[in-house]
């Protein structure tokens, strides 16, 4: 793997088809600057070509912060043109994260604010440490979320709750986020990564074509009417049904053994 300044990739669990990306600017609360966003783009492009990757975990360095959004110190004094140029890079990074072919799990180890919360909303599954607080405070800064916050939050929780959250710009703790349905689970901070890894390994043991097909069917189907969505599902279904892995899945079931997936 390439060595980046603000991104760490842990390949320790690659034999179990799991890779971990760590946002690595702890001195700046893992805030997102232009360099980190650019490196995240390059990293995701490199990882999506890994033949042994089935699940990607995204977390932050340290215990204090997952990501507190854009680095406002870097943005101080930016012209409108420079702001737009930077935001274009942010949009590309978040788009690659959302459209990563395999499941992406956020292991939220600390504050997730602004673009940091939008980052976790861009992941397929979200688990947090019990001390985490999250929020979309853009309204208090004279802007609004710009990489998915106003779109993905109302798709995750009731619209009224999402609007209140966005209008107030306040923070909520992990338990309230769990109760609202924003996240999938809460773990003690010392168990967050271990517990997330266990879930990731379980998912990674399933058929790779099925994982990709489920993600495509859900993400594309949610954007359309139910009849079109069912057609999308069937298209993905037959990609799996006509695969070598489907034959292997049935054979391994009948032979009472672990399947040997080939992704074909």
What residues act catalytically? 118, 138
Q: Three-class SS of residue 162? A: helix
Tokens of 185: 């689970």
Angle, in degrees to the nearest 10, between helices 80-98 and 34-47: 30
Q: Cα–chain-centroid distance for residue 38?
A: 17
Contacts 24+ apart (CB under 8 A), 164-172: 165/135, 165/136, 166/136, 166/139, 167/139, 168/139, 169/135, 169/136, 169/137, 169/138, 169/139, 169/140, 170/135, 170/137, 171/113, 171/133, 171/134, 171/135, 171/137, 172/133, 172/134, 172/135
- Measure the CA–CA gap between 138 and 147, rounded to whole angstroms: 12
- Measure the CA–CA gap between 150 and 6, rounded to whole angstroms: 27
Angle, in degrees to the nearest 10, between helices 244-254 and 226-241: 70
Scanning the structure block, which residue is given the tokens 């607080």?
133
Neighbours of 171 (CB within 10 A): 18
E-assigned strand segments in the chain: 7-10, 18-23, 55-60, 65-67, 104-108, 111-113, 125-129, 133-135, 171-173, 185-187
């Amino acid at each position: 793997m390439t060595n980046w300044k603000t991104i760490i990739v842990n390949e320790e669990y690659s034999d179990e088809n799991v890779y971990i990306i760590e946002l690595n600017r702890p001195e700046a609360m893992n805030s997102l600057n232009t360099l980190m966003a650019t490196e995240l783009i390059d990293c995701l492009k490199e990882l999506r070509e890994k033949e042994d990757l089935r699940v990607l975990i995204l977390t932050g360095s340290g215990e204090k912060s997952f990501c507190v959004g854009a680095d406002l110190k870097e943005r101080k004094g930016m012209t409108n043109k420079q702001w737009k140029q930077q935001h274009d890079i942010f949009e590309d990074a978040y788009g690659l994260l959302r459209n990563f072919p395999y499941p992406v799990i956020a292991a939220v180890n600390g504050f997730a604010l602004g673009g940091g919360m939008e980052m976790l909303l861009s992941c397929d599954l979200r688990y947090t440490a019990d001390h985490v607080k999250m929020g979309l405070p853009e309204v208090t800064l004279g802007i609004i979320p710009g990489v998915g916050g106003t779109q993905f939050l109302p798709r995750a929780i009731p619209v009224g709750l999402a609007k209140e959250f966005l209008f107030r710009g306040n923070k909520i703790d992990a338990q309230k986020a769990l109760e609202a349905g924003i996240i999938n689970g809460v773990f003690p901070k010392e168990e967050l990564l271990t517990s997330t890894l266990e879930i990731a390994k379980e998912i990674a043991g399933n058929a790779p074509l099925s994982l990709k097909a489920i993600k495509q069917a859900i993400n594309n189907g949610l954007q359309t009417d139910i009849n079109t969505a069912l057609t999308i599902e069937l298209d993905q279904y037959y990609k799996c049904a006509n695969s070598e892995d489907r034959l292997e899945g049935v054979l391994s079931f009948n032979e009472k053994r672990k399947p040997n997936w080939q992704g074909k």
